[in-house]
Amino acid sequence: MVYQLSIGAACSLSWPANRIFIQVLDDSTDPAIKALVEQECRRWASKGINIKYEIRDNRKGYKAGALREGMKHSYVNLCSHVAIFDADFQPEPDFLERTIPFLVHNPDIGLVQARWEFVNADECLMTRMQEMSLGYHFTVEQEVGSAIHAFFGFNGTAGVWRMAALNEAGGWKDRTTVEDMDLAVRAGLNGWKFVYVGDLKVKNELPSTFKAYRYQQHRWSCGPANLFRKMAKEIATNKKVSVWKKFYLIYSFFFVRKIIAHIVTFALYCVVMPATVFVPEVEVPKWGSIYIPSAITLLNVLGSTRSMYLVVYWILFENVMSLHRTKATFVGLFESGRVNEWIVTEKLGDALKTKMGSKASRKLRFRVGERVHVLELFVGLHLLFCGWYDFSFGKSRFYVYLFLQAAAFFVVGFGYVGVFVPNS
């Protein structure tokens, strides 16, 4: 089970036993799971590990609520730093030895963030696509932000916070579904600096099913947009940081990367440009249709060079997902519908299967309501019609892209992505 790997990894951290508390925050609702996790904690406690099993009587605030409750225990006041790991993360024994020195020797640093390493990246084509996208995030966004001492977001796990920075920023808040980003922005506005350690990797899993991936991407797109709505004024009026940093947070970090990027990707490459085939008088300049997209694509795949041969699949898949992210972004901006939806991303325990060297059999789980996505099918029809029109009357051969992108939307729309999963 995933929890056994994670608890075991936390309890195996190389650090003086009398100077560390392992706190397991169990927010599960299944009594059987709770019993198993508590039993695992007792097993490690019997070995002399200072481990605390904590539960609460509600799930208010979800992860932020659980973390906030966890901070209220008296023994937490004895701690100067807190390392955070989600339930499927497995830090190496030397994790603290490689992160705490940054905080000890640099009093202005509030957070040390490690990189994620995916144990199931080769699980299927969908996980390879995810690895490519997240590879850019860690290799470019986090690395550059740290190197130039600019702001970068906390990834919610595999990081160590200075307790003073966490408390000064106001602790954990559940006003959005991105409590990690919320805390990082507030700490950054208080003048704390962050460090990203790219060569320190923490094992974890990617979502193996498209259903789980959609829920995750909804949260990751809706949450930042909603946080921007709530914090834009607070950032603009802050007097502790420079005008340049405020501009960077509002324009670059939030507006461009968290909002405009999703909307422009979908609107431009899936709606506007395909529609130009009906108006031959409109000519899209090559710098906008080829050069800039190619440059952006090459930058994105730098974080996962081993998968560069999959770049065409990645482009098509990311364009499809841009529809889902755009919808989630508007939900967050206008605080409608599923703005506060929190569904735990399902992980299948592939780390354990890999460790055991077993080859899991696979089966197809078919549920029409979960697999058929109407919006994707509608956009697929739009692209197919544009492709047919360009094939029949156009001269630019744009239909090659249109047919490929339409096929990608149909594949996702009919649910033929992320449905072959390992048997448990």
Q: Which residues are catalytic?
A: 27, 180
From CA 336, how far away is CA 347, in angstroms rounded? 28
Residue 221: its H or E element: helix 210-236
φ, ψ (nearest 5 deg) of residue 377: -65, -40
Do 214 and 415 contact (CB within 8 A), yes or no?
no
CA dihedral 3, 9, 10, 13 (to 10 degrees): 170
The pair of structure tokens assigned to 334 is 């206008």
Do 98 and 91 contact (CB within 8 A), yes or no?
no
Do 87 and 36 contact (CB within 8 A), yes or no?
no
Residues belonging to the chain:
424
φ, ψ (nearest 5 deg) of residue 414: -90, 5
The pair of structure tokens assigned to 376 is 């994707």
Return the percent helix, strand and coil in the chain, to nearest 5.
60, 10, 30
